[in-house]
Structure 1
Amino acid sequence: MRLVPRGLRARITVSVALLVTVVVALAGLAIVTRIDHRDRTDVDRQLTARAEKVQQDADKLLEEGDHHSGDEGQDDYGGLLTGSQSLVRVISGRQVIAQRGETPRSALPVPERDGYATLQSDGQTWRSLTEPLNNTGDRVELLQDIHPIERRLADNIALVAAVTLLAAAVTAIGTWLITRLLLHPLQRLRAGALAISADVTGPALPAVDRPREVADLSHALNAMLDQLRTSMEATRRFTADAGHELRTPLTTLGMTLETLQRNPDLPEPQRTRALEAMRAEHRRITTLLTGLQSLARGDAHALPGRTPVDLTALLAEAVQHAARRHPTITYRLGPAAPVTIQGWPAGLRLAVDNLLDNAALHGRAEGNVDIGLSRQGATLRIAVSDDGPGIAPDQRQAMKERFTRGARTHAPGSGLGLALVEQQAQLHHGTLHLGQSPSGGLQAIVSLPSAPDPGLDVDDSGPTGAPVG
């Protein structure tokens, strides 16, 4: 048996109904207790006032002895009226020697000490006040039947219980109806979530404007869904690109291995050429996978937190490594003042390395590559120029696409270098522009904003990878 409801609507209804029940019950009991205390205090106050009157009329009370309330008219002893359910007694020792007022249904016990007391007798409850009677050594006792007060207390408690139950029922019904309206946006989100599939073009969750908390949840879930779909799309694209581009080199490797296996006595020159071809295909596969991995991470926005990056130092280090990779190329880094921006060091280094390798591989053999860093207003420009054949103006935009290579190029490469550079530029909210260098070759300019973008969302993994050319 489940004591706690499973549904949110039922839990809210039960919780609010219980809270209202407790609050109304406690408030009602506090009021009833206050009223009962006031009534009993009034009785004690009346007994005190009557005691003063009795002290004045004590001689007359002792002379007339017992007198019951069946007589008509006013009672001059203690200000008691006939039928007032009041009683006054004079006690000597343990005996009642005089009595006047309402006669109880059964004998009342004689009080053992002075002061206030509550007595029970045959279903009746009396409030008693006992005081010494002048200087006679006797005592006078005044009693008041408080059955009406106790009946009023019971009636008030019953009224509080009825009001509490009614308030709980009304609250439960009202809360059930109100929560239906309040939880309707959540029901819409639930229905939208059930309609979502693995299709990257599937519907998003419904946009909710009110209440604010549900609207924030809707926006957060849609943002998460967009990120998941972006990551899924990047994974699918990586798989498709890898399968398409790796088919040819893997086929070539398989054919070469089969040739070597079928011809164990292959002449040494032919064997050497076959092994060299296999090494070249292996390098191509490795470079291709590295580039695809970097592109996939960028597509999925798998980016680390932005940190200050010294572009001047980054360019100097990249040029030194590029010179070691391409010893026949002369790299010339122009002077530049220290410049720091907010970005991802690995991503910027990846873009610069690919620009330097692209200039070396597709520029003039034993040529020159000029690198410059400048500022124009709030924009930083990294320019890499070579003295090779360049790219025709009508082909420059197409060369930024993945797996695109020039029609006249014979240099090794995967066709991913400029695509990686443009992706990193866009991730840093910049651009890549291809133009003609002063020496007639290709000039690639990466423009980056010098001010950070506070609205960019990132996660914990970063874009890495070697230049792919």
Structure 2
Amino acid sequence: MKRRRRSLSLRARVALVSALAAAIVIAAIGFAFAVFLRVNGSEQLDRTLDSVSLSMATDPAASADNTVAPVLPEDLSPQVVQPTAIAADPVRATTIGGTAVRAKDVPINGAIGQVVAVSVPEDPMSRAIREQQWQVAGVALAAIAVAAGLGWLLAGRAVRPLQRLAAATHTVGDELPAALPDIRGAREAEELSDALSRMLDRISKARSRTQEALGAARDFAAVSAHELRTPLTAMRTDLEVLTTLPLTEEQRTEILREVLATQRQIEATLTDLERLAVGELSDATDHEDLDLAELADRCVQELARRLPDVQIELNSPPTVSVRGIPSGLRLVLENAVTNSVRHGRAERIRITLVHSDSQGAVVAVDDDGIGIPQHERAPLFERFVRGSSADPEGSGLGLALIAQQAALHGGRAELSDSPLGGTRLLIYLAARPA
């Protein structure tokens, strides 16, 4: 695997940007200062020439014999040359004896058309300008270095919270920390710390849910395998008897009847196991706003067609608005009626819906069956637990499915005595399930 080249650190980037910004600003200022020095030096030479010219113009004797020149600072003494004709350009740059000078023609008093060329050497001024430019360049380099250093120091303070945060996240392994260190400093670092804390909290909750789901799945698989092993063993025994022993037609018919009953039991168990698994995988996104009265009415009509010998009634307000899983609530009603008929041997079932905006809804299923002893009621909501009067072909999961759906809807389920003489099943549904 190709190793990725490491990028520059934020601290180094800030230092480089600071140095670059300082270099740009100082370069602009230095260029302007160099131009100013050059222009100012040229103006100084022109003023020197003007002062020398004025002095010679007011001293006729000096102009006449060309031997007197004003005393000026060292290296700036004007050079007076012999009279010459008037030049086209009174101030000009020229060379005298290999020395660059700035010259100006001064008219001679009393000599029409004659001038004296007065010159000032440019070399001393140029040297002074170059020296000042080098000084400015040195100061500029020092300022750039100082800017880079300050950027490095200030960036170091700014990124220190990020470094602490990175060191804390490097230690995150299989065991998530309870909390990251309290990061204070730059606002961005604080926001990043808060975001990472929330992310770790979500990961921790998701891991807990996953571990709980895996534990439940292992227990579920173990119990399911145990419950399925018994009917499968019975089916295998019956099939071995059919294939190995000589049987009468009556015996063969009886064994085949037992095999079919066992097959139906296994099929019912697998169907209920699938429903339980679907319930375990449901979450808040599966809930939706629905009318429980309308759903119960449709369910009662279908059950009445499937169970023509059973009288099924529905007492409900016109509308019962709840938030829930439609398929789950339908499963609750179907299992409640099926259990009353199959295990309670009921002939009359009444479903009552009670609605409260603040407390949710209550579903009561009453029957006139044989009832359930009080000491058996609570355990029946466990998986694969059957009552003493349960039909042998049942899966033992009917009431477990109802309890699961009640919990998914933020409520609970319980059994009690029915005014019809049998058993009452109460399912409480929360107004807004979590």
Asked whether the equivalents of residues 89 and 96 of structure 1 are also in contact (C-alpha less than 8 Å), the reply is no
Is 1:226 matched with 2:208? yes
Partner of 2:237: 255
Is 1:154 matched with 2:137? yes
Asked whether the equivalents of residues 303 and 334 of structure 2 are also in contact (C-alpha less than 8 Å), the reply is yes
Deviations, residues 236-281 of structure 1 (Å, cap 9, x unaligned): 1221122111110111111122222224x64333333222222222
Deviations, residues 121-180 of structure 1 (Å, cap 9, x unaligned): xxxxxxx9x9999998x9988843121233124313431453355456646866786544
Partner of 1:296: 277
Partner of 1:201: none
| Counterpart selection for 2:196 from 214, 217, 221 | 214
CA 276–288 in structure 1, closer or farther in 2 if over 3 Å, else same: same
Equivalent AA in structure 2 for residue 82 of structure 1:
E
CA 57–318 in structure 1, closer or farther in 2 if over 3 Å, else same: same
Alignment of 1:32-431 (within 5 A): 32-45=27-40, 47-48=42-43, 50-51=45-46, 54-55=49-50, 57-58=52-53, 60=55, 75=72, 81-82=73-74, 107-108=99-100, 143=122, 144-145=125-126, 146-163=129-146, 166-167=149-150, 170=153, 178-188=161-171, 190-191=172-173, 193=174, 195=175, 205-208=177-180, 210=182, 211-263=193-245, 266-302=247-283, 304-365=285-346, 367-376=347-356, 378=358, 379-410=360-391, 412-431=393-412
In 2, the alpha carbon distance for the partners of 1:171 and 1:370 equals: 78
Asked whether the equivalents of residues 49 and 104 of structure 2 are also in contact (C-alpha less than 8 Å), the reply is no
CA 244–58 in structure 1, closer or farther in 2 if over 3 Å, else same: same
In 1, the alpha carbon distance for the partners of 2:104 and 2:324 equals: 95
Provide the secondary structure at the position in 2 that maps to 1:397. helix
Asked whether the equivalents of residues 89 and 142 of structure 1 are also in contact (C-alpha less than 8 Å), the reply is no
Deviations, residues 193-251 of structure 1 (Å, cap 9, x unaligned): 2x4xxxxxxxx653337431221121111122122213212321221122111110111
TM norm structure 2: 0.78
Asked whether the equivalents of residues 279 and 404 of structure 2 are also in contact (C-alpha less than 8 Å), the reply is yes
Identical residues among aligned pairs (%): 26
Asked whether the equivalents of residues 402 and 413 of structure 2 are also in contact (C-alpha less than 8 Å), the reply is yes
Asked whether the equivalents of residues 385 and 444 of structure 1 are also in contact (C-alpha less than 8 Å), the reply is yes
CA 98–351 in structure 1, closer or farther in 2 if over 3 Å, else same: closer
TM norm structure 1: 0.72
In 1, the alpha carbon distance for the partners of 2:288 and 2:79 equals: 96
Question: After the TM superposition, which of the residue ranges 389-398 and 433-442 deviates more from structure 2?
Answer: 389-398
Equivalent AA in structure 1 for residue 16 of structure 2:
T
Equivalent AA in structure 2 for residue 224 of structure 1:
A
In 2, the alpha carbon distance for the partners of 1:232 and 1:444 equals: 31
* Residue 361 of structure 1, CA deviation: 1.4
- Which 5+ residue runs of structure 1 have no aligned equivalent? 6-10, 76-80, 111-127, 196-203, 457-469
Asked whether the equivalents of residues 22 and 147 of structure 2 are also in contact (C-alpha less than 8 Å), the reply is no
CA 208–178 in structure 1, closer or farther in 2 if over 3 Å, else same: closer
Partner of 1:16: 11
Partner of 2:188: none
CA 61–3 in structure 1, closer or farther in 2 if over 3 Å, else same: farther
Provide the secondary structure at the position in 2 that maps to 1:429. coil
In 1, the alpha carbon distance for the partners of 2:210 and 2:141 equals: 61
Number of residue-to-residue matches in the alignment: 402
Larger Rg computed on CA atoms: 2
In 2, the alpha carbon distance for the partners of 1:35 and 1:55 equals: 30
